[in-house]
Amino acid sequence: MSNANNENTVSESTQIDRKHYGPTFPILLGALGAWTLYLSAQLPDFIQRGRQLPGPRYFPTILGIFFCVAAVVELVRYLRQRRNRTVPAPSIRQRAFAVMQDWGSHSVVLILASLIVFVPLIRYVGFIAGGIVFSALVMLRLRAKWYNAIILSVVVVLVIAVVFGMLFRVPLPRGAFGIAL
Amino acid sequence: MDVVVQLLHPSVLVPWMLAMLFGIFAGATPGLTATMATALIVPISYYMSPVAGLAMIIGATFTAIFAGDIPATFLRIPGTPASSAAILDGFEMNRRGKGGFALTLDLLCSSIGGLIGVAILIMVAPPLARIALRFSSAEYFWLGLFGLSMSAVVSKGNTFRGIIAAAFGLLISTVGMDVTTGHPRFTFGQLELLSGVGFIPAMIGLFGLSEVLKLASDPATLNVPSITQSAKISLLGALPAIWRHKITVIRSALIGTFTGSLPGAGADIAAWVAYGVSKKASREPEKFGSGSEEGVIAPTSANNAGLAGAWIPALVFGIPGDAVTAIVVGAMLMYGLRPGPLIFEQSREIVDSIFMIAVVTQILLIGAGLLGIRAFSRILRLPRNAVMVIVLLFSAVGSFALENSFFDIYVMIAFGIIGFYMEKNDVPLPPLILGLILGPMVERNLRVGLVRTHGDFLPFFTRPISAVLAAALFITLFGGPIWNLIKGRLKQP
C-alpha cells in the first residue's frame, strides 16, 4: 500500500515538473506579438473613395494584439505556478546545463545541423552521394550498427531516387559529379 | 459507370493499392501517423490526376487509421493517436493469447464503421452543400473561426495554447501577397515567400520532422524493433462476436461520424467518446479495460467512421475536420479543386469519385489489413532509428519535389523546429495547420464583409445564421469555464 502511495506521489511530482515550462514561452510570445505589430505598422493603408477600409495591416494587427495579450496571460500563469511550487524550480542556468549534458538534446541539434548541411551537400555532390552520407551519419548517431547504417542508407536513397527521380521525373540534384537516376 | 471505369484504370488503381499498403506500413509503425502518411503521399500524388491523387490519400489514411491498432494490440504502443483507445482491451486480449482475434475483430469493425461513416457522408453532404450556398462572407468568417476554436478546444493539451497555435497559423497564412491589394507582407525580400509559406513543406516539418526530433531525444527506444510476435487470424471466428455486439458497432460508428464531423475533433477523440459511451451503455461495464470484446469493437468502429465524418465539413464548407482532412483540403487546392458547396455543382464527377473510392477502400481494407497483420506479426520490424532516417529523407525530398525548391527544405526544417518546440510546451499542432489552411478564408471574408458594410461589424451578428455561428463560437470558447463557475457557486453553502 505504501509502495503504491509512493508511486503515486512520484508520478504526480513528475507531472508537475513536466508541466513546469519556465518563462521562455511567454517571452517568445510577447516578442512575436511586438514584432508582428511593428511589421504591420509598416504596411500601407487601404483607402478607397476617401474612406479608410480594412487593408493589409488590419488582420495582422489584430493577431499582434492577441499575441501580446496571450503573452501577459501566459506570464501570469507562469508566475502563479512558480509561487505555488513546493520544490524550487531549476534556474535557467541549471536548465541550460541539463540540456547541454543530455544525449537526446545533442541528437536533436545534430540532426537539425546535418539537415541544414544536407541542402548544400546534395547541391554539390548530388542527391545519391549526399543522401547516403547524410543518412549513414544520422543512423550512426542514432546508435545503429555501422554495417546496418551503410546498407540501409544505400537501399533507402536508391529507392527514393528511383521513385522520385525516375517515376515522377523530379529533377533531383546531380551535383558536380553529375550522378543521378 | 464512368466513375467506375475511371477508378479501374491502372493509372488510378495501382497507386491506390500501393498507397493502401503504404498506409498499413505507416499506421503500424510507431512514430509514423496517418497524418504523416498523408503528408508524405501528397508530394507524390502531385504528379498524378486529381482522382488518382485522392484515391492514394483516401486509401492511405483509412488503412493507416486501422493499422495503428496493430502495434496498439501487440505492443501497447498506438501506431497513430486514433489507436490510443484501442490499447485498453486489445492489448489485454493479446496478453491472454487472443491478439489475432482482437485484431480480426478490430479490422472488421473498422471496415463496417468506415462504411457507415461514408454512407452518412454521401447522404448528408449534398443537402448540406445546398444550404451552404446561401452563406455570405459573415457566415464563412464565423464558420472559419468556429472551426479553429473547436480544433483548439478538443485538441490534446491546454485549450488556451490551442487558440495560440491557431492564431499562429493565421499569422503564417498572412505571409505573401495581400489577398485584396496585392501588397507583399512579411516576405523580407524573399521572392519564394511572395506566394506564401508552402503548405506541404510546413506540414511535413510539423508532423514529420518534429516527430523524428521527439524520438531522437529519447535514446532508450532507438534500437527497439516494432513487432516480434505472430498471431492467428480467423475472419469467420470474429463474425459471431460482431453479431452479438451489433448495436455497439452501429452506435459507435454513428458517434464516430458525428464526432469526426466536428471541426478539429478527429478520429482519436471519436474513438474515446465511443469507448466511453459503450462502457456506460454496456451490461458488463466492469469488463472494460480487461480484454472485453465490446472494448475492442467500440473504439475501432468509431475511428474509421470519424475519418469519414471529418470529410463532411471539409467537402461541404472547405473546413477540415481534423489534421488529415486539413492536408486533404490543401492537396485539393493544389489539384485545382476548391472544396466548398460549389464543388458539388462544378466538379460533381470528382465528388462521386471520392464517394466511390471511400466505399471501395472500406472493402479493400479487409484484404490490406489481413496482409498487414500477418506481415507485422511475423517479421521482426525495422528498428526505430532506421524508420527515423527514412522519414527524414522522405521529408526532405518530399518538400523539394513539389516546386523543385531548396528553399522549401529550409521551410520544412523551420516548421520541424517550431513543431518540436510547440509539442514540448503542450501547444497542440492541429490548430496551427488549420489556421494556416483557414487563414486566407477567414481574413478574406472578414475584410470583404467589412468593405460591404462600410466598416460596420453589426451585420456579422444580426444575420440569422451568422448569429447562430457566433453564439456557437462563444459557447465553444466560454461555455465550459462559465458552467464550471456556476457549478462552483451553486456548491458553495
Q: Do residue B446 and residue A59 have CB atoms under 8 angstroms apart?
A: yes
| DSSP summary character for residue B177 | E
Domain holding B457, by residue range, is 2-491
Å from B447 to nearest chain A CA? Answer: 6
Residue B403 CA to residue B408 CA, distance in Å, equals: 8
- Percent of chain B whose pLDDT exceeds 70: 89
B169 CB burial (10 A radius; 0-12, 13-18, 19+): buried
Q: Which of residues 409-438 of B touch A (CB under 8 A)?
A: 409-410, 413, 416-417, 420, 425-426
pLDDT tens digits, B187-210: 988 888 998 898 778 877 887 788
- Determine the longest span between alpha carbons in chain B, in angstroms: 72
- Is the Cβ–Cβ distance between B19 and B56 less than 8 Å? yes
Residue B31 CA to residue B214 CA, distance in Å, equals: 9
Q: Coil, strand or helix: which one is B166?
A: helix
Task: Please give the tally of structural domains in chain B.
Answer: 1
Residue type at position B173 = S
pLDDT tens digits, A16-65: 344 556 788 999 999 999 999 999 999 988 877 777 788 899 999 999 99
Residue B46 CA to residue B199 CA, distance in Å, equals: 13
**Average pLDDT estimate for B281-310:** 85
- Least Cα distance to B332 among B55, B70, B16, B127 occurs for B55
Residue B334 CA to residue B423 CA, distance in Å, equals: 28
**Chain centre to alpha carbon of residue B41:** 14
Residue type at position B463 = R
Q: Does A49 touch chain B (CB under 8 A)?
A: no
pLDDT at residue number B479: 79
β-partners of residue B184 are B177
- Least Cα distance to A143 among B365, B96, B222, B70 occurs for B222
For the residues of A111-157, what is the DSSP string, one character each?
HHHHHHHHHHHHHHH-HHHHHHHHHHHHHHHTT--HHHHHHHHHHHH
Chain A residues closer than 8 Å to B188 by CB: none
pLDDT at residue number B22: 86
Residue B278 CA to residue B292 CA, distance in Å, equals: 11
Nearest chain A Cα to B176, which residue? Answer: A56
Q: Does residue B413 register a pLDDT over 50? A: yes
**Chain centre to alpha carbon of residue B152:** 14
pLDDT tens digits, B244-259: 999 999 999 998 888 7
β-partners of residue A47 are A52
Residue A20 CA to residue A30 CA, distance in Å, equals: 19
Choosing among A18, A61, A111, A157, which should be mutated to test the B contact, i.e. which has the most B CBs within 10 A?
Answer: A111
Q: Does residue A115 register a pLDDT over 80? A: yes
Grid cell, residue B52, equals 488518382
pLDDT at residue number B419: 92
- Is the Cβ–Cβ distance between B204 and B400 less than 8 Å? no
Q: Does B186 touch chain A (CB under 8 A)?
A: yes
Q: Do residue B183 and residue A43 have CB atoms under 8 angstroms apart?
A: yes
- Least Cα distance to B442 among B36, B231, B185, B143 occurs for B143
Count other C-beta atoms under 10 Å from residue A109's C-beta.
14
- Is the Cβ–Cβ distance between B126 and B345 less than 8 Å? no
Q: Does residue A11 register a pLDDT over 50? A: no
Out of A73, A107, A157, closest to residue B217 by CB? A107
**Average pLDDT estimate for B398-414:** 87
pLDDT tens digits, B330-379: 888 888 888 888 887 788 888 888 888 989 999 999 988 888 887 776 54
Q: How far is CA B215 from CA A7, A81, A96, A111, B219, in A?
A: 26, 29, 20, 12, 8
- Least Cα distance to B79 among B103, B114, B96, B95 occurs for B103
Please provide the average confidence, as pLDDT, over all residues in chain B: 82
Residue A78 CA to residue A23 CA, distance in Å, equals: 7
Residue B489 CA to residue A78 CA, distance in Å, equals: 26
